[in-house]
Structure 1
Amino acid sequence: MKKSACALALMSLMAVTGAARASSFVYVSNADSGTVSGYLLNKDAKKLEPLGDFPAGDKVMSSTVAKDKQLLYVSVRSKPYHVVVYKIQPDGKLQKVGQSPLEESMAYLSTDKSGHFLLSASYGGDLFTINRINAQGQVETPPVQVVHTGKRAHAIQTDPTNRFLYVTLLGADQLLQFHFDPATGKVTPNSPPSINIQKEAATGPRHFVIAPQRDRQGDQNMYILTEMAGNITRVTLDAEGKAHEQESVSSVSPQEDMQRGEARPLTGDDDLPPSHKPRIWQADIHLTPDGRFLYSTERTSSTLSSFSVNPDNGHLTYLNSIKTEAQPRGFAIDNSGRFLIESGQKSNQLSLYSIDQTSGKLALLGRYPTGKGGNWVSIVEQ
């Protein structure tokens, strides 16, 4: 009896301790400040609690989280190009534990589903690289593979099965598709090796998300945000990893009188001549973890748009758009699908929103100071 009581007490203590340690941390890359700002997402109080700013390097941008949620990888896009590795402390503060060179200025980082490889896409270098991540979480060099892509590689991810890899080419209006070998980290082209995104030119496929589950027709849906055309293109992925375009829906607020965008030069985001109407300039896209709602940002109008996802066929229905931080670049949604955190490149604050679980409607909960040039948001839930 005494042993059983002791065992039960120990199990209860372990459960309480585990619950106490469960935390949600938010990290924002500040390109102009050269720092990463950290926050605790207090879900009970519905607020962010600042943890401090951590040095990274000029033009710090894309970040991704290790599979074990113990490390944060951050891309520094100033020379010498590199990735910084941070250890996430129990209190959410960051400790730099490593740094590895990257082949080019990398616009997008992710890891494969095993967490054994770092995937990096370069907008300026027209390429992507795959680097092995060792047992200590460090990024090994040289890369296991460097793939030259054509104009303006922008985002890179593997599919949920970790058998296929996709890369958007903003400058070529294409989605590249590959077979991915999770043992070696190497890719080989699928057949066909790419599909064109829409029939019109200069759509600018930028970021994309893959639905967490198949729709009721059994299709795996991918949603691609076009930077210049102002829409979201839905494609389906078949059993062989091949993408098939289905439809496109407008993702720019109908209240905004805007013209088609243009690709930005490498010298700077705003280096374009004046235009008669504001140019469409979309940035980021994310789904809630249950796949029911999708959100996207448009930088010129500083808007955040909401969509519902049809569970039968993956079709998007536009809901509404709201004004958000100035020139919104990146945002993230927590694992519960109840909170969205959004940053703005021309804002020194970030916004915390609640997500209505029935309607998908966003409600502003608070705004919090951050560094200059906020552009990427990652959430770590331990």
Structure 2
Amino acid sequence: MKKFLLIISMLFPVLIYAQHKKTGPYTFDLLIGTYTKGKSKGIYVYRFYAESGRLAYLNEIDGVDNPSYLTVSNNNKFVYAVNEIGKNGEVSAFKFDAKQGKLEFINKQQSKGADPCYIAVDKAQKNAFVANYSSGSLTVLPINADGSLSPVSQVLQDEGHGVNAERQEGPHVHTGVLSPDEKYLLYTDLGTDKVNIERYKASKPQPLSPASPAFVSVKAGNGPRHLVFGNDKKHVYLVTEMGSNVTVFDYDGGKLKEKQSITLLKPHFAGKTAGAAIKISPDGKFLYASNRLETNELTVYAINEESGELTQVQQVSTFGKNPRDFAIDPTGSFLVVANQDSDTIYVYKIDKATGKIGKIGTTLEVGNPVCLKFTPAE
């Protein structure tokens, strides 16, 4: 009996530690993509402490030209960045040490398009999908077992124009997002006011093929930008850059049906505006979107559990210029916003019950921050 009690007493601290590790505190790495024309030199990594919202500098990697959008592989071992450098765009691959927050360059490939602005990777890490804004194309780059990128295997070149002769003189592909089951890829074209729909089969040399129907159109001149799937997998939410609104679609097996459009703007607002990023809270109850130029706001919407429709909850200032991107930490407790033109990153507290954004906590100065990605720290 004494021996049994001795064993239990020895194990008790271990059990307490294991329980503590299971329930918190939680730590994550926050990767920051930037434009390198100003103070920034590349990609920055900070440790994020979800119990307090505190950020601590870990590492950075220099010599990466305009890594304006990032994505992290499903196994957390690789990071991929577009290099938005003009006519001959590129894509870079990095090894990622999540414990130290350290990035190590692997290789680089041409994006076969101009000004790549978005990148996504499938869960199996077979292919990367790149949106080339200025040339209006979406390209596919195979991923090798060591995380390196192979040359482009497929180019989808959009054609056409929109009603705005200045902004929509030709196609401008802005994003490419896989459906939750990864059977489809949806990509937006700001220049033609379309959301294109492609079937995806990773095993094929050219893995994308048009779905039926192959696209849906939004209101002329709205300029679709980014989209996100609802947690219920039955709805898609699209933020438009030129229209500054959020469009809600019913989604079923690669098919989209518009059901609601709700503005990001205050009543009677007549200034310059541009919708930017769109995210959903981890619990799926709230949607957040950012708006730029003369608005510089975050708008919060409640998501109806049955219909997927939105009701506005709150609008708050980002206290900076051009909130190009923001991220919600995986616990749903904090929202981090990147103000591109004021070189600032702010951490806001979220009220999980109401979805509302509270006061600013942590603040950082980072040159031209334009992409934020959370990933688990190890």
Take 1:125 and 1:76, find their aligned partners in 2: how far apart are those partners? 14
Paired amino acid for 2:363: Y
Structure 1 residues 79-88 or 353-362, which shifts more? 79-88
Take 1:305 and 1:187, find their aligned partners in 2: how far apart are those partners? 34
1:49 to 52, 56, 60: 56
Question: Measured at CA, do residues 250 and 224 of structure 1 come closer, stay the same or move farther in structure 2, by a change above 3 Å?
Answer: same
CA RMSD, aligned part only? 2.5
1:249 offset after TM fit, Å? 0.7
Give the match's secondary structure for 1:346. Answer: helix
Report 1:56-205 matches (<5 A). 56-78=63-85, 81-101=89-109, 102-104=111-113, 105-141=115-151, 143-150=152-159, 151-184=171-204, 186-198=207-219, 201-205=220-224
Partner of 1:206: 225
Structure 1 residue runs of 5 or longer lacking an equivalent are 215-219, 259-277
Question: Measured at CA, do residues 176 and 16 of structure 1 come closer, stay the same or move farther in structure 2, by a change above 3 Å?
Answer: same
Partner of 1:302: 296
Take 2:370 and 2:231, find their aligned partners in 1: how far apart are those partners? 24
Partner of 1:268: none
Q: Percent identity?
A: 24
Take 2:344 and 2:100, find their aligned partners in 1: how far apart are those partners? 20
1:373 offset after TM fit, Å? 1.3
TM-score, normalised with respect to structure 1: 0.85
Take 1:82 and 1:368, find their aligned partners in 2: how far apart are those partners? 31
8 Å CA contact 1:25–1:92 kept in 2: the answer is no
Structure 2 residue runs of 5 or longer lacking an equivalent are 160-170
Structure 1 residues 204-213 or 6-15, which shifts more? 6-15
Partner of 2:258: 245
Structure 1 residues 12-21 or 55-64, which shifts more? 12-21
Paired amino acid for 2:288: Y
Structure 1 residues 126-135 or 160-169, which shifts more? 126-135
Per-residue CA shift, 1:224-250, capped at 9, x if unaligned?
Answer: 0011112111111113x1111111011
Take 2:259 and 2:98, find their aligned partners in 1: how far apart are those partners? 44
2:354 to 343, 354, 359: 359
Does 2:216 align with 1:223? Answer: no
Paired amino acid for 2:228: V
1:15 offset after TM fit, Å? 4.1
Per-residue CA shift, 1:254-291, capped at 9, x if unaligned?
Answer: 3x722xxxxxxxxxxxxxxxxxxx22211111111221
Report 1:26-41 matches (<5 A). 26-31=30-35, 32=37, 33-41=40-48
Take 1:230 and 1:168, find their aligned partners in 2: how far apart are those partners? 15
Question: Measured at CA, do residues 14 and 139 of structure 1 come closer, stay the same or move farther in structure 2, by a change above 3 Å?
Answer: farther
Structure 1 residues 181-190 or 322-331, which shifts more? 181-190
Q: How many residues align?
A: 352
Partner of 1:217: none
1:90 offset after TM fit, Å? 4.1
8 Å CA contact 1:113–1:160 kept in 2: the answer is no
